[in-house]
Structures are given as structure tokens and as C-alpha cells.
Amino acid sequence: MGNVLWHFFGLQGGGKSVGITVFAEDMHIKKGYKVYANFWLEFGKIISIRDLMDFKYSNCVIILDEAYGVADSHQTSKANDNVAEVIHQSRKKNVEVFFATQLEGDLYKRIRISAHRKVLCENIGTEETPILKYTITNQYDRLIRNPLIFDTLMVKSTYHLFNTNEVIMPMHLNPEFSFDWIKEIYGDCGTKKTFSTLLNDENKFITRDIGDAVYDLMKAEKYDRVKRLLKLK
């Protein structure tokens, strides 16, 4: 294994999930490495952002679909830097990481420029009869090899291996994000709107509706439900 960072990108339906699944399964079968992903894989295990930040993994493949969820290019934050640092340290633990985003620019720049392999994913067939094309370049945009082509039969034979309809969304990008922190900002905020805004600033997956619900639960002292809702220990 070469401790490679892979960035798969392309429009919806371009074959990103098929590509990372096929690549990861090949490494799993040929190398015997475990595979961890933030979505269901037949041959892998689910990984959360908390697991990633604890990072006790080695000799494995880690797949992060919809990777802007953990490293968004449109914001500079401590959370992004934390993820970047963990990914950079993965090289010392014999780990290959696959990121997938729709646009190449969606991934946080510090990670994006570190990618050893960039894979442009395109469906050159139709939605009913997909033919997927994978163009692989290095970090200098030089072609690594001739594009890979997956015909319709091969593409459809992979569908049972994964389910990206329920990507595991990271609810705590910052390792300091905790129930105690929630209690602290609840005590400091005078209004529901201020509370929800602060939660969204900390984690963009906590929408206004979720923030409002958390505020109401905190007010009612239903703390166990807050922990379940935000996936906090």
C-alpha cells in the first residue's frame, strides 16, 4: 500500500461511489486490508467523524463520501485543520484515504493539494445504461494511465455492494463538541435564534430547525434526547 490520498470528483451520477467501491474492494481482496466508510459497504465497517478524529486505524482504507461534510472548502475553521492534520498523519499508519465530492473545489484546499491521485468520474452512457469513465491524474494534473472504462454490466454488478442513500453525516466535526459545550452556550444565549446560530457556526449540519429543537429540549431538561439527536456520548 502506498499511503495514497485519492480525490474522486464528478457530477451526480458520474460514478464516484462505484469507483471508490471497486477500488476499495480490490485492495480489500488483494491486500487483506480492512475498509472503513461513512456509508454502508458490504465488505466494510461504518466510521464516524469522532472515530476519525480519535484515529486508531492502520493498514486500512478509509472512504469519506460527500467529503465536504468533514472538510469544506468554503470555510476555514479549526475543524477543517483538525481533519487535515489527521489525514496527513495517516501516511505514517499505512492508510489510504478516498475522498469523494461533486466538484474538485469542494474539498478543503489543504487536503485537496495533498491528494496524490485525482480521479475525474464521468458517465459517458445514460442513466439507464451507465458507462463510467475514470480519468486518473497526479497532483500535477499529469495523466497516470489511460482512462478506465466500466461497462454497464460491471457497473450494475456493484450496486449491491454499497448504499450511499444514507451517508453518515458528521454531527461533531470538532473533538471539543460535547454535551457540556451545548449546556454552556445554552446558558449564555438569551434567545433560541442566537443558540441555533451558534450551533450552526460550530457545525453546518446542525440546521436552524435542528438547533431550535435542541433549544426546546434543553429548556425542557430532556438531556438524553439532546444527546441522541446530536449523536453525543
C-alpha distances (whole Å) from 126 to each of 5, 18, 123, 168 are 30, 15, 7, 28
Query: What pLDDT is recorded for position 98?
Result: 93
Bridge partners (DSSP) of residue 132 are 123, 150
Q: Which pLDDT tens digit goes with each residue over 60-90?
A: 999 988 887 666 655 555 556 767 777 777 7
Query: What pLDDT is recorded for position 35?
Result: 95
HEC letters along 34-79: EEEECCEECCCEECCHHHHHHCCCCCEEEEECCHHHCCECCCCCHH
HEC letters along 13-25: CCCHHHHHHHHHH
Q: Which pLDDT tens digit goes with each residue over 118-176?
A: 999 999 999 999 999 999 999 999 999 999 999 999 999 999 999 877 656 555 555 55
Query: What pLDDT is recorded for position 11?
Result: 92
**Hunting for cell 485519492 — which residue is that?**
6
Q: Which pLDDT tens digit goes with each residue over 195-205?
A: 888 887 766 55
Q: Give CA–CA dist 40/42, Å, rounded.
A: 7
Q: Which pLDDT tens digit goes with each residue over 218-233?
A: 999 999 888 877 767 6
From the list 183, 110, 117, the residue with the least C-alpha distance to 148 is 117
Q: Which pLDDT tens digit goes with each residue over 6-65?
A: 999 999 899 999 999 999 999 999 989 999 998 889 999 988 766 776 677 888 999 988
The packing angle between helices 192-202 and 179-188, to 10°, is 140
Q: Give CA–CA dist 4/200, Å, rounded.
A: 33
Domains belonging to the chain, first-starting first, are 5-163 (3.40.50.300), 179-230 (no CATH)
1 band by pLDDT with thresholds 50, 70 and 90: very low
